[in-house]
Amino acid sequence: MTKSKGVIGILTGGGDVPGLNPAIRAVTIRALREGYQVIGIRHGWAGLIDLVRDKNADNSQNFQTLSEDIVNRAARTGGTFLHTSRTNPTKVTRAQVPEHLKDKYTADTNDLTEEVLKNLEFLGVNYLIPIGGDDTLSYAVRLYQEGVKIIAIPKTMDNDVPGTDYCIGFSTCITRTISLTNSLRTIAGSHERFMVLEVFGRYAGFTALLPTMAGAAHRCVIPEYEFDIDHLTDLLSYDRRKNPSHYAIVLVSEGAMFKGGQMIFKDRTTDAYGHAKLGGIGDLVSEELKERSPQFNNGQTVNVINQKLGYMVRGGEPDALDSIVPMAFGNLALDLLLKGIHGRLVVLKNGRYDNVPIEVITSRKKVVDVAQFYNTERYRPKYESFEMKPLLIMTSEL
């Protein structure tokens, strides 16, 4: 039996998106053919916290050895067969500390990075390839600074990881958003209503802006620009009057804010990265539109269809882009690894695959350039100056 050249660990963290399994497949197939062993870390960073450093312990819930058969079966499906979590190893509450570590970590909040490093050594991991958004990958930056050889792959349907035009999951998200909006417009038209569709997007409005640019909605409101509800009602009333079917659609990012207001939170709980759970902005916009509608519709109330697209846009199998890009990202990661290069984020910039220093992930936030891409008077994208723009228009950081 040929001796392995080394061990590559791979994990997925944060929210699931279509395209994760194709990325895992790409890394695994290439790595195995190059003579490496591949270990899939289960449940994101949680798998590297919960692991028990005992060869006789049952760690099957924390990692598994990957083969071509395993990844080939999974690659055509959505989600992540390795499972995921929003665990942040630097902020583990006392209640979340694994049972075998409770005597050692007794503070209200604990940094378990020391355990993560020891567990990677226990597994014999030489290279680690995390796939995630800016939260998951921000911890990858921390591990890189601790000496772990890391190559990161960007994933998030919000498309807001800095340094790259594209993140795995984004294309399927906007494809689903356009499709679901077009399905629902028959209801809005039949009843001559406003339709408010809430979409994901905490700090970045790409998931609302791109479908609107594609013609799925008349208007959109995004986190990067506070909107005036009276002005939005006026615009939608105008759209409804002009439309032969007498309806109008607005896409509302979950992180959008009323002028002078704040983000709307679903409850008081937070995830491991300290983010409060958003939800409800679509409900408030719907209520306010209905209440204000008589002012702009000759005294007549316009009823509202209110739908949160939510998990519908991240479920199911990946579309074409989210099948192709993960394949390329996975092979890019292996190209770097085979050259002995680490501390990099694989990216897609201006239509070309590339890689950048991993530190870019924590260096800044990636949000919509409002001045360049958003018409703040009309609450819709700007339809101009497309020459030499990247494929998905407003996703490049120039």
Active site residue 158: yes
**CA 329 to each of CA 24, 72, 228, 324: distance values in angstroms, whole numbers, following the listed order:** 10, 17, 41, 9
Q: Evaluate whether residue 355 is within a structural domain.
A: yes
**Residues of the chain predicted below pLDDT 50:** 1, 268
**CA 362 to each of CA 134, 141, 313, 345: distance values in angstroms, whole numbers, following the listed order:** 8, 8, 27, 12
Domain that holds residue 328: 7-168+316-363
Which residues does 308 contact at the CB level (< 8 Å), separation at least 6? 197, 198, 279, 282
**pTM, full prediction:** 0.93
pLDDT digits (tens, 9 = 90+) for 114-123: 999 999 999 9
Query: What pLDDT does 271 receive?
Result: 54
Check whether residue 206 and residue 297 sit in a common domain: yes
Query: What pLDDT does 2 receive?
Result: 52
Check whether residue 218 and residue 342 sit in a common domain: no
Whether 168 and 329 have beta carbons less than 8 Å apart is answered as yes
| Pairwise CA distance, residues 19 & 174, whole Å | 14
Whether 62 and 36 have beta carbons less than 8 Å apart is answered as no
Angle at the Cα of 340 from the Cα atoms of 334 and 341, rounded to 5 degrees: 75
Question: Of residues 50, 134, 135, 158, which has the active-site annotation?
Answer: 158
pLDDT digits (tens, 9 = 90+) for 144-153: 999 999 999 9
Tokens 């020391």 belong to which residue?
Answer: 114
**CA 361 to each of CA 24, 83, 262: distance values in angstroms, whole numbers, following the listed order:** 21, 23, 26
Q: Evaluate whether residue 390 is within a structural domain.
A: no
Check whether residue 182 and residue 289 sit in a common domain: yes
Query: What pLDDT does 265 receive?
Result: 58
CATH number at residue 334: 3.40.50.450
Which residues does 44 contact at the CB level (< 8 Å), separation at least 6? 11, 12, 13, 14, 83, 84, 85, 86, 87, 132, 136
Check whether residue 211 and residue 250 sit in a common domain: yes
Check whether residue 121 and residue 217 sit in a common domain: no
The tokens for 133 are: 């958004």
Query: What pLDDT does 322 receive?
Result: 96
Q: Which of 247, 246, 249, 207 is nearest to 232 (CA)?
A: 249
If one counts the domains in the chain, the total is 2
Read off φ and ψ for residue 38, nearest 5 degrees. Answer: -120, 130
CATH number at residue 300: 3.40.50.460
Q: Evaluate whether residue 326 is within a structural domain.
A: yes
Whether 9 and 129 have beta carbons less than 8 Å apart is answered as yes
Q: Evaluate whether residue 394 is within a structural domain.
A: no
Query: What pLDDT does 279 receive?
Result: 58
**Secondary structure class of 104 (helix, strand, coil):** coil
Which residues does 387 contact at the CB level (< 8 Å), separation at least 6? none
